[in-house]
Amino acid sequence: MLRQVNAVRYVTPLRSGGSVPAVVEADDLGTYVVKFTGSAQGRKALVAEVIVGELARALGLRFPELVLVDFDPAIADGEPHQEVRELHSASAGINLGMDYLPGAKDFTPEIARHLTVDPLEAGRIVWLDALTVNVDRTVHSSNLMVWPTFGTAPPRLWLIDHGAALVFHHRWDTSDPAKAYDFRHHALGHSAPDTRAADAELAPKVTEELLREITAEVPDAWLLDEPGFATAEQAREAYVGYLHARVRASASWLPSDFPTREEIAAEDARRAARTQQGRPDWLKRVPDLHGKPTAEQDWSVHLG
């Protein structure tokens, strides 16, 4: 089961994402990025974080430890922004914390050009994302970190942020476990991901027993938001059944056709040109104030 810790010091909010997580220190002397139950994304995002994150760990992928964080809004009463204070007030009690990786950097296209990713490792990550229908690991938002980035230790890819995965749990009655998924713009598509080797290696490991162990780590209260299920156990069984059916149907959804960097760049240029068409001249000269952070910025600036 996930460890439970108590938040003892509120460090800072992270404002780049809609969920507005926060960096906190806990009574186990650890520092965590906390995602709150009262955020706009709701508890389903936390359910996805636990299931996909723990599945990644069980399959041998690098993913920061998750903990349950008992959060008292009083420790953040110095927060100056009212909307953030309201979020904290709505999130008193158990929330989800991810171990903070100090100094980690975003896996940006700039970094990707200088870091060689093994095709099998890339294939494993793409396979996990395809299995869990993760829509948020693209060339534009990788949700991958490079850590460590100092000393002589080789940089490694770490997975973060899976709140946008498991999209099927937003429409249980219409989701087909065998449905193919469009991963042409996956963040690792240019790394020649060997998804067939990953499927042969990982699919046999995703058993009903493993899925039940993982879903058991989700707090009951977070599963009671699921419509159509009378109990948390019924919701857990629905996740187990769907994911197990999907892994058995991997031949139907296994992604294998990825564009090159050049093709991605050309498509981005075409998209930018379409966006510019029809704009008045004065608006075309307005700089992009919402561009992606540089590779040198710390990961904590844009979690969420």
What is the pLDDT, as a whole number, of residue 292?
43
Cα–Cα distance, 179 to 177 (Å, whole number): 6
Residues of the chain with pLDDT under 50: 286-304
- pLDDT of 280 reads 65
Q: Residue 48: its pLDDT value, please? A: 98
**pLDDT for 152:** 75
What is the signed CA dihedral for 205, 166, 225, 47, rounded to 10 degrees?
60
pLDDT in tens, 7-48: 999 999 997 667 899 999 999 999 999 999 999 999 999 999
- pLDDT at residue 7, as a whole number: 98
pLDDT computed for residue 297 by the predictor: 38
Report residue 184 CA to chain centroid gap.
18
Please report the pLDDT score of residue 282 as a whole number: 56
DSSP H helices, 72-116, are: 82-89, 109-112
- Global pTM? 0.86
pLDDT of amino acid 140 = 87
